[in-house]
Amino acid sequence: MRLVFFKTILAVLAIGLMTACNNDDDNGNSGTPIDYGDLPAASRTMLETNFPDATLVSATKLDQPEANGTLYKTYLSNQYQVDFDTDGGWTGVFGNGNPVPDDLLLQSILDYVAQNYPAPIYIEEIEREDGGWEVELSNDIDLYFDAEGNFISADFDGDGEDDEIAIQYSDLPANIRAWIENHFPGSMAILVKMKTQPDDDGTVYEVDLNNGFELEFDADGNWTEIDGDDHKVPDDLIPPAILSYVHSNYPESVFIESIEKKSYGYKIELSIDLDLKFDSDGNFIGFDD
């Protein structure tokens, strides 16, 4: 492959990508555009080996290396950004919605992610940081590893909320884990979050399962919401009076796809996009707008 620096045709695209991908002008470390041939030989070899079908949109040499050693930033036609140090060794690979090639990852990191965050979750970014590695997953969890790829910690950065952190499934209270394993046997948690400040409904823990269900629990381990995301909530989790009402008033093909505890009782969503409200005894109150 011959990576080509597009000076005119892709100029607008280059500007857009450089703005979206960690532009260093924001922190005072601006750079100079360079041609493909001005990159270190090791950088060119890495790009040609791992991204053989891509072309170079732009390349920049920073005025001074960043804290992790980054001196060169490259932006490719397949949306990847790859950063390099002075010697041409890569310091960061950013997929921008695409997976980082497995060949660039330590096996210990690959094994940890595969064991704890199964498909369809994948590694979207990896960057050298503080003598180790920072990995961002496609579900917006950041993982931190030491230089040998041993797991250190995790953090959730999905929606900018400061009151949420990512935790391991094993860190959930035992009664929550037992509840999940009893009602959703064979499922696996792909995202677990803990709130440092409970929601108004008392929610402290949020768990996303690989079968599409999203679950919420309070500090005592009681569920506050069960969202099937187009899947049927198991009947044994629905108060009998509510289940009876739905069976009596809607066709058999209609099912409850989510149920949420409210101050007045319960709110359910049916598979026909209709929300119903019930009191704490399961008596129908009305429709939710």
Q: In sequence order, what DSSP letters do the residues of 41-97 get, joined into one string? A: HHHHHHHHHH-TT--EEEEEEESS--TT---EEEEETTS-EEEE-TTS-EEEEE-SS
Among the listed residues 69, 131, 81, 134, the one whose alpha carbon sits nearest the alpha carbon of residue 105: 134
Residue where a domain terminates, one of 106, 130, 156? 156
Query: Residue 19: what pLDDT?
Result: 40
* Number of domains into which the chain is organized: 2
Indicate the residue type of 49. Answer: T
162 occurs within a structural domain: no
pLDDT of residue 237: 97
Question: If you write DSSP's letter for every residue of 143-199 in order, what string do you get?
Answer: EEEETT--EEEEEE-SS--TTEEE--GGGS-HHHHHHHHHHSTT--EEEEEEESS--
Residue 3 within any structural domain of the chain:
no
**Measured distance CA(80)–CA(100) in Å, rounded:** 9
Each residue's pLDDT expressed in tens, for the chain with a length of 289 residues: 444 434 333 433 443 444 444 444 445 678 999 999 999 999 999 999 999 999 999 999 999 999 999 999 999 999 999 999 999 999 999 999 999 999 999 999 999 999 888 788 899 999 999 889 999 999 888 899 999 999 888 776 654 455 788 888 889 999 999 999 999 999 988 888 898 889 888 999 999 998 889 999 999 999 999 999 899 999 999 999 999 999 999 999 999 999 999 999 999 999 999 999 999 999 999 998 7
In a domain, 273, yes or no: yes
* 149 and 275 housed in the same domain: no
CA distance 21 to 94: 9
Domain that holds residue 200: 168-287
The alpha carbon of 98 is separated from its chain's Cα centroid by a whole number of angstroms, namely 12
Residue 255 pLDDT: 97
Same domain, 144 and 184: no
Domain co-membership, 137 together with 180: no
Contacts of 120 (CB under 8 A, 6+ apart): 138
Residue 4 lies in a domain: no
Is residue 96 assigned to a domain?
A: yes
Please give the pLDDT value at position 5. Answer: 38
Please give the C-alpha separations between residue 29 and each of 26, 63, 114, 197, 213, in angstroms, as whole numbers. Answer: 8, 6, 37, 37, 45
Residue 6 resides in a domain: no
- The pLDDT of residue 188: 85
| Cβ atoms of 82 and 74 closer than 8 Å | yes
